[in-house]
Structure 1
Amino acid sequence: MRPARRLAAALLALATLTPLALAAPTAQAAPPTAAVAGSGPHGQDTPLDPALVARLDEVIERTRQETGVPGVTVGLWLPGRGTYVHSFGEADTKTHRPMTPDLNMRIGSETKTFTITAVLELVDEGLVGLDEPIGKYLDGVPDGDCITIRQMAEMRSGLFSYTFDDDFVHDLLSDPDRPFTPQQLLGYAFKHDNVFAPGAEFQYSNTNTVLLGLLVEKLGGMPLADFIHHRVTGPAHLDRTLFPTGAEFPQPYAHGYTRQTLDDSVADATHWNPSWGWAAGAMISDLHDLHHWAKVVATGELLSPETQREREKFLPVPGFPPGAGYGLGLFRTNGWIGHNGSLPGYESVTMYLPEQDATMVVLLNTDILLPDGGEPSTVLAGAVTSVATPDHLYELRLPS
């Protein structure tokens, strides 16, 4: 797989469910590390049935080893049944420090849920309309007079994703510490023709969310990181969630491992500068905050009911399971609503199941793809739901 294609896949965050294993060596099996009871924001700290815990421990550890994941934390909150928070494997493969539930993690494309929530707050204020063209607010967007805010949020703009540009991939991987500005990222994208007419198809493009971040800055009158802090993470009481301005990474954190390198070797990407993801993929969070955020974002607690209904218009995506779809910065699959994330070194899944008021968070310290291009986070989340919610499997497939 070419570096450009690998890197684009890393930020796609819409993965293929597959049971295949990586060839990379795995950490030695170890007893899972459990969270302290009472850590959940909704008071759901009753342990699950011991038999179910044993089944989850077995399937998660087996899947972790089969997929070559160094470390993983899984949180499940199932009202009426109990809570499960366990970590497996290693947070640092050099020191063999174990993975634990309190670690900060980079969350990649889950950042989109925050950026697009910010956009929808501006919609609620009447500062922008979902069906207005982006060209009304930002200059220089190819076909910007026809591409709407809605089409960018639902990944149907047709704008080329900068992560597929060979020059961008080379510039990033030859110096992963370098900072990128949003304008530089758009420069890589805008030298390419749009890939289809606005609204004609679905294609996941990080260019969309970078533009939406600039829209928030213009209409919100402050840097995107500040707007998200004051208007999204603050009101949602996410005290451990950060939009970094550079490569800062508050301790404690898990080290992250990637093969997004020019020579396809495994590298420690922990301190790579995530500014290249910006509004599409730069944020940091932890299990505690993502547990809370899952329900907040899926139910629209920060938005008006009318705007949340627009967000929940999940349009079908070719190749996805029946009933699955992508809305405005959220997707739905088999009843679960939320998003996943991937960038060099890390993957995450944060989902809410309204039918059961249930929440699932899966955090990994690798983004190394499976041999067929599938993402290990999808395999692990699928394994968890096969045991805990077999009538509601977490399942995603990329269009072929």
Structure 2
Amino acid sequence: MPAGPLKGRIRVPGDKSISHRSLMFSALAVGRSRIEGLLEGEDVLATAAALRMMGATIVQDGGAWIVDGVGVGGLLEPDMPLDMGNSGTSARLLMGLLASHGFRASMIGDASLSKRPMGRVTEPLSQMGASFQSADWRLPMIIEGAHPAVPIEYRLPVASAQVKSAILLAALNTPGTTTVIEPIPTRDHTERMLRGFGVDVEVEESAGERRIAITGPCDLKPCDVMVPGDPSSAAFFAVAASLVPESDLVIENVGLNPTRDGIYRVLEQMGANIDYLDRREVGGEPVADLRVRHAKLTGVTVDPAIAPSMIDEFPVLFVAAALAEGTTVTSGLEELRVKESDRLSAMAAALGAAGATVEENDDGLTIHGSGGVALAGGGPVATHLDHRIAMSMAVAGLASRDGVAVDSIDPIATSFPNFTALLDTATR
């Protein structure tokens, strides 16, 4: 609903990508790790539950999480299906983990996750010796790990940090050197964090490509992890503060990994007023406090090369574009059609229902901005059980005349359980 300007200081939940990985690597270490700032959303808790079923001890201790790991190769065969809920990250990364452990496991997910393709992950893991049984390479799936698995050299056909990470997770328990070649660099949380857990990760860059190599089997040492604030979660508030007049908001402790900060670079190209306060490093990741003030935004043509560094933030960028002066053109976004929903189609329909002028293309959206004039609002718009659609349209509601109704806010809990409460706090 429309509200006043966003003011004061807020802190968004921990980074989802780093939270998943911190649990997995801690479970593979021998000894006790402590994680602070873990995102306690349903997706990350699905990862924790799966790791518990395979022998890791994971308990909450006040505001921190304590993990007693079983060591690489020490996971136990689960006696029940691993339920991934709505979490594609949990499913794809755990497939990598299971691929080089010599037991059988089954994996299930909710209705939304069960529609999402897993073939791009199972293909390289099959080359390493794992086998997969499923209908049309989707969940539910039975995974038969290989022991020993076979090292491979694999060139990613599409930019995907999840596929890269799945292969590197499998490599931890695979004798020999496994190499992933990235024609386009993707988020590098896996490489950064594995080094923190004592793994020798070799990264070479030449001719614009990255080669990431791990020689296994590896021993992971326990580690204390501080999870920075999720840049994807912060982006909803950065866009909201940019759009709502008189806003002046500080978002604390935001992770600014250069493979994840594309949304802020594009917002600045559009004229956003963002100051980066107290730049620092936390757990190997660059972090800052973001001060965002209302600004008049201008439409831009978004370079497709920046897409991997902001792939999850395009829905809220589309909202910013709908209120900008002039036209914003996006392309190279086929990946958005196989997320929790078809995010191109869903956002085109949702913004159209709220009064924006949007053209849907095969690989992107063209959005003709309102020049800062509030959208009419309306709805209810269909979220398709997609948390980012729901949050993006909540932001659109703040910049509309009559508010925007969504069919459900329940999916928001998968990644940002206190989103609506924090929005209320910022707009009081």
TM-score by length of 2: 0.24
Higher radius of gyration, 1 or 2: 2
Question: TM-score, with normalisation over the residues of structure 1?
Answer: 0.25
